[in-house]
Amino acid sequence: MFENLVKDIAGYRRPVGFGICRVDLGQLNPDKVLQATYPVVNWKENYETSAVFIRSLFESGEEVNFEEPEYITQVTGEFIDKALETFGEKLVEEAKGKKHRNIQVLKVLQKLFEGEAPSNYRIVFLWEDSEPQSVEAVYLKLYALSQRKAPLRSLNLNGAFKILHNCAWVGNVPIELDYLRENEIELKLRDAYPEVEYVDKFPRYLSHIVPETDNIRILDSAKVRFGAQLAPGTTVMPGASYINFNAGTEGAVMVEGRISSSAVVKEGADVGGGASILGVLSGTNGNPITIGKNTLLGANSVTGIPLGDGCIVDAGIAVLEGTKIYIDPAEFEKIKEVNPDWNVEYKGIFKGVELAGLNGIHFRLDTTTGKMVAFRSKRQVKLNDELH
Amino acid sequence: MFENLVKDIAGYRRPVGFGICRVDLGQLNPDKVLQATYPVVNWKENYETSAVFIRSLFESGEEVNFEEPEYITQVTGEFIDKALETFGEKLVEEAKGKKHRNIQVLKVLQKLFEGEAPSNYRIVFLWEDSEPQSVEAVYLKLYALSQRKAPLRSLNLNGAFKILHNCAWVGNVPIELDYLRENEIELKLRDAYPEVEYVDKFPRYLSHIVPETDNIRILDSAKVRFGAQLAPGTTVMPGASYINFNAGTEGAVMVEGRISSSAVVKEGADVGGGASILGVLSGTNGNPITIGKNTLLGANSVTGIPLGDGCIVDAGIAVLEGTKIYIDPAEFEKIKEVNPDWNVEYKGIFKGVELAGLNGIHFRLDTTTGKMVAFRSKRQVKLNDELH
Amino acid sequence: MFENLVKDIAGYRRPVGFGICRVDLGQLNPDKVLQATYPVVNWKENYETSAVFIRSLFESGEEVNFEEPEYITQVTGEFIDKALETFGEKLVEEAKGKKHRNIQVLKVLQKLFEGEAPSNYRIVFLWEDSEPQSVEAVYLKLYALSQRKAPLRSLNLNGAFKILHNCAWVGNVPIELDYLRENEIELKLRDAYPEVEYVDKFPRYLSHIVPETDNIRILDSAKVRFGAQLAPGTTVMPGASYINFNAGTEGAVMVEGRISSSAVVKEGADVGGGASILGVLSGTNGNPITIGKNTLLGANSVTGIPLGDGCIVDAGIAVLEGTKIYIDPAEFEKIKEVNPDWNVEYKGIFKGVELAGLNGIHFRLDTTTGKMVAFRSKRQVKLNDELH
């Protein structure tokens, strides 16, 4: 039914993502969007709603551009009224709690647009997942990642760093550094200099995301960048941990170490205190690292290769692509058992990269010989029976 | 004298701990206690005060239950008046500064109860140190630990994790995650979404504890969980450090690494940058680790066994229960000298766990052979002359 | 011209540093200066301005002491008026944006001094760089370091720790611990206990410093102490990183590890996740460490010796003064090529300290033999042609 609404709209496309956001603008440059806050994000879903939105824009006189990869326009009172009218009284009435959240957005906006219409609300459509062109588009994608609507590493974020502005963050509010520079004297003398909590292009995960279940814990908001993804059951401790954007967990994981950009950690794994999973920007030759299920990264270990399920990296050791690792012939056979697709000849010493992604390996530094060794871990590995 | 007050109260018991607290209740579920803030905590002390409290409850019509392990009831204006009356004018007058702090609590409450009586103050008694049954009881015990009224590891905290609610913390205020979920759209659109600093079941040490001396330093409040214990002279740096609840220091210690759950570090020790002391939940088979006096844990080292006094763990190495460690025969003798109770045969290579708790050992990775070695450290070890 | 103003002032000296600050005083002890906030700091510059300031003090009846190493006095309305008058209408008019910032300070102060004169502004002169005697002097020097007006390690900060007071910091505001102790009961019961973010003698870098360029990023304000120095292009990640006062970067550096007191990292270097550069107070025998250009410190590595340009320390290893490191004869020759001033005999195994400051070395733990080895890194090293 809703699709009929857009039949007469030339060039109509279904968006991969869309939403309405409130934007924070520059204190000195009001044309600069510093942050976009979305109460609701739609990613490959709710196409009927996008149809209503597009129809309402059309009827309120907006020319929606379907040719560029993304389209952003200011929210107007007319648009809000049209859209609520199109959804109809019944849906608007029902829109509460978890139901019809996009309509809830319109309802709140309608109240905010009574009197003088504010100019800092935007409606954003991404027609395709190409390089983002705007701050609003980058934020929409970061939401899609952090709200687990899009899998990690699945979105095109090329150039995001160039689009976002480096800001001083005071709570959830971004402030232009130039504003602080220009007003430093006055602010300091008047005892009004703000408490700057961080300076970055990205905000923090907790500034935008409500953990989806009550068993997600983040003991320090500084430790998780917006754009990270945390599955239910994930705990992020405050010691040496950190989760970058486009990185995170796919199941319950204890995180006491670093999950660098593009790294993904699976259900039941344990990232020990100070353990470092290298990122695509730091030491993995651009290969993103996945850590398999129930794999344990010991305290202060460093992992520079992907690991399968049920592995153990002993505390304090570094397993990198070039690390030379000895495997005993008997252990080699045991490792092959849980990795039936691993077709290599035995050769005694292997490079780390040659063991990438294998299941059930225990890495250890033998402190009687100084050799790095790999052997079959005592952790269970469940093979996918359908495949083997 | 005070004890006479309770002679006629059936079943009267002296509490192991008691105090009056202000509780934060759920925004959606006002029956849920999210946090309990105690201005004064009594632990195995001030039994006269508890007698007055119990008498006053009795006289204000409360039936105190002595049969369950803990008793909690709402503070009423009548109770406050009765209690102040029972203490008597002289004590009430004197109650200032460090004197009669429980009475000071009553005096402040009396002012707060003028007009409409607030309902968010509780009086809490723990008759014994058994499994806590309530949020108020868990907090009372965490206070006892953090205020150094009870030794680390001495209290029964079983089940505490299940009793506490996971909250979003905005400053010192806990907020139900469901409240944020239900109000996300409105809060975000109105630019009223709070700055969530962490999501956890536990608050931070500094939200409840004033360091007892001016030589305690905590450079980042996120680094010390409530329930941790810090002795005077302890400094916690902001790099990779962390102190969990029921863990901490018993003397002046420089903390630049992690003191995991149940780990205790003694006077003069140094937990180097990124050093990891494993906790009962992570790699020690449930054996809590103590680090002895003047022991040095090098930067990025990992310690998985208890250490005695005057030990050194070199930077970057891991000494775990199963680590194989070579000891030279001459060094073996020197180590025995400072560990007269250590009765073992010499056998060349020892497992880490066999060296647990010994004094004066220096652990090193010999980078000419790859062997982990232990030898007599150059640090002084003071033997207890009375014992030997 | 300005110098003429002070010709008749007996004992006149040019200050090495001076400025006007707002001070935070103790809540209980109003004589205690807890913090000094300078809107503008002058370090070995703007001597004309200091001459005007001194003249204006002189004319407003202050006896400037030139004999002690530092001179501090309260700012008065009379001083402000005299100084603005002496600068003259034209300069005062021009004082905007980046121009005449000291005069801008006076202009703001003149407004603040309308009505009742505040007593918490100070004018501070350091006649020489000797041991600081006051909180205001320590802060002036920390500003000179953090604003890159004085090179790292160049200032006399002896005794600074004793001069600063340990405070509870609530945002940018320092609070005496005794104030919290005395008011704990009232504050907690009234739900007015402040959110203490840290307890330290030093404030944080971002409480006083606006990053000078837009490509400086600090993802967690707790990670950089005031007195640290960050060159443009420096990024400080929130995992295990930390930069102490009188330490920092001299060029664009990615900081994911610890830069301890007195350590300096040069342009293009990379301090990997959890990497530890030892400080003068922790393991370097008091020798401050410099990390050369384009040198890479791997994740969780520990560096206890200075390194030259183009070095690599592999992830997870520790290179300390006493570490025994094997060099192959052929590699020894290659290393000498990029270190023409290094005159040593080949001897197979070298101690870490013997390799201090050399360029182009790659440190690695050979995991087939357990030997720590050093060889010529593949990183480019640019020799200074003028010198060689």
Of C252, C364, C265, C251, nearest to C307 by C-alpha is C265
Quick one: pLDDT at residue A386?
Answer: 53
For chain C, give the mean pLDDT. 95
Q: How far apart are CA A194 and CA A111, in angstroms?
A: 31
Residue B336 has pLDDT above 80, yes or no: yes
Residue whose entry in the numeric block shows the structure tokens 């760089």: C129
> Is A247 within 8 Å of A279 (Cβ atoms)?
yes
Residue B265 to chain A, least CA–CA distance (Å): 17
Inter-chain CB proximity B196 and A221 less than 8 Å? yes
Inter-chain CB proximity C197 and B206 less than 8 Å? yes
Token pair recorded at residue A365: 């530094």
Question: For the segment B58-103, what is each residue's pLDDT rounded down to a tens digit?
Answer: 999 999 999 999 999 999 999 999 999 999 999 999 999 999 999 9
pLDDT class of B148 with cuts at 50, 70, 90: very high
Of C116, C109, C113, C138, nearest to C20 by C-alpha is C109
Nearest to B302 among A37, A39, A315 (CB): A315
Percent of chain B topping pLDDT 90: 92
Neighbours of chain C (3+ CB pairs under 8 A): A, B
What is the ipTM, given to two decimal places? 0.96
Of A34, A212, A219, which to mutate for an interface test with B (greatest number of B Cβ within 10 Å)?
A219
Q: How much is the average pLDDT of B44-52?
A: 96
Inter-chain CB proximity A367 and B324 less than 8 Å? yes
Residue C258 to chain A, least CA–CA distance (Å): 11
Q: Which residues contact C55 (CB under 8 A, 6 or more apart)?
A: C5, C6, C9, C82, C86
Q: How much is the average pLDDT of C178-190?
A: 98
Chain A residues with CB inside 8 Å of C109's CB?
A: 189
Q: What is the CATH number of domain C166-203?
A: 3.30.60.70
Chain A residues with CB inside 8 Å of B241's CB?
A: 239
Q: Is C195 a catalytic residue?
A: no
Catalytic residue among B59, B256, B331, B333: B256
CA atoms within 13 A on the CB side of A94: 9
Inter-chain CB proximity C317 and B316 less than 8 Å? yes
Q: How much is the average pLDDT of A197-222?
A: 98
Question: For the segment B212-259, what is each residue's pLDDT rounded down to a tens digit?
Answer: 999 999 999 999 999 999 999 999 999 999 999 999 999 999 999 999
Of C308, C331, C325, nearest to C364 by C-alpha is C325
Question: For the segment C306-326, what is each residue's pLDDT rounded down to a tens digit?
Answer: 999 999 999 999 999 999 999
Q: Which residue of C has its CA nearest to A364?
A: C367
Token pair recorded at residue A126: 């991404």
Residue B387 has pLDDT above 50, yes or no: no
Q: Which CATH architecture has domain C209-376?
A: 3 Solenoid (2.160)
Inter-chain CB proximity C315 and A324 less than 8 Å? no
Looking at residue A66, its amino acid is: F
Assign a CATH topology to domain A208-376: UDP N-Acetylglucosamine Acyltransferase; domain 1 (2.160.10)
Chain B residues with CB inside 8 Å of A109's CB?
A: 189
Chain B residues with CB inside 8 Å of A300's CB?
A: 274, 276, 300-302, 316, 318
Residue A99 has pLDDT above 70, yes or no: yes
> Is C361 within 8 Å of C375 (Cβ atoms)?
yes
Residue A200 to chain C, least CA–CA distance (Å): 5
Residue C16 has pLDDT above 90, yes or no: yes
Nearest to A237 among B242, B274, B324 (CB): B242
Q: How much is the average pLDDT of A279-300?
A: 88
Neighbours of chain B (3+ CB pairs under 8 A): A, C
> Is A274 within 8 Å of B276 (Cβ atoms)?
yes
Percent of chain C topping pLDDT 90: 92
Q: Which residue of A has its CA nearest to B226?
A: A219
Residue B381 has pLDDT above 90, yes or no: no
Quick one: pLDDT at residue C382?
Answer: 76
Question: For the segment A346-364, what is each residue's pLDDT rounded down to a tens digit?
Answer: 999 999 999 999 999 999 9
| β-strands B290-291, C33-43 pairing | unpaired
Of C119, C270, C146, C276, nearest to C206 by C-alpha is C146
CA atoms within 13 A on the CB side of A190: 13
Residue A21 to chain C, least CA–CA distance (Å): 24
Q: How far apart are CA A361 and CA A379, in angstroms?
A: 9
pTM of the model: 0.97
Quick one: pLDDT at residue A388?
Answer: 45
Residue C13 to chain B, least CA–CA distance (Å): 38
pLDDT class of C388 with cuts at 50, 70, 90: very low
Chain A residues with CB inside 8 Å of C97's CB?
A: 182
Residue whose entry in the numeric block shows the structure tokens 């007071």: C165
Q: How much is the average pLDDT of C39-68?
A: 96
Of C101, C367, C368, C375, which to mutate for an interface test with A (greatest number of A Cβ within 10 Å)?
C367
CATH class for the region spanning B211-376: mainly beta
Which residue has better confidence, C100 or C285?
Answer: C100
Q: How much is the average pLDDT of A115-134?
A: 97
Q: Identify any residues that bridge with C190 across adjacent strands, giving them in sequence order.
A: none
Catalytic residue among C256, C321, C333, C345: C256
Nearest to C104 among A185, A223, A260 (CB): A185
Q: What is the CATH number of domain A2-160?
A: 3.30.70.2010
Quick one: pLDDT at residue B21?
Answer: 98
SS3 of A196, please?
coil
Token pair recorded at residue C104: 């801008």
Catalytic residue among A136, A176, A250, A256: A256
pLDDT class of C4 with cuts at 50, 70, 90: confident
Q: Which CATH architecture has domain C2-154?
A: 2-Layer Sandwich (3.30)
Neighbours of chain A (3+ CB pairs under 8 A): B, C
Token pair recorded at residue C152: 């790292």
Question: For the segment B162-216, what is each residue's pLDDT rounded down to a tens digit?
Answer: 999 999 999 999 999 999 999 999 999 999 999 999 999 999 999 999 999 999 9
Q: Which residues contact A166 (CB under 8 A, 6 or more apart)?
A: A177, A199, A200, A201, C214, C215, C216, C217
Question: For the segment A246-283, what is each residue's pLDDT rounded down to a tens digit?
Answer: 999 999 999 999 999 999 999 999 999 999 999 877 66
Q: List, as own/partner pairs, every contact residues C265-268 make where C-beta atoms lie below 8 angstroms and the sequence separation is at least 24, other chains included.
A: C265/C290, C265/C291, C266/C290, C266/C291, C266/C292, C266/C293, C266/C295, C266/C309, C267/C231, C267/C293, C267/C294, C268/C293, C268/C294
Classify residue C212 by burial, with Cβ atoms within 10 Å: 0-12, 13-18, 19+: middle
Asked if the domains B2-156 and B166-203 are classified in one and the same CATH topology, the answer is no
Residue A195 to chain C, least CA–CA distance (Å): 6
Quick one: pLDDT at residue C255?
Answer: 98
For chain B, give the mean pLDDT. 95
Nearest to B185 among A40, A219, A315 (CB): A40
Quick one: pLDDT at residue B388?
Answer: 45
| Domain range summary for chain A, segments of one domain joined by + | 2-160, 166-203, 208-376
Assign a CATH topology to domain B2-156: Alpha-Beta Plaits (3.30.70)
Chain C residues with CB inside 8 Å of A317's CB?
A: 316
Chain B residues with CB inside 8 Å of C365's CB?
A: 367
Residue A62 has pLDDT above 90, yes or no: yes
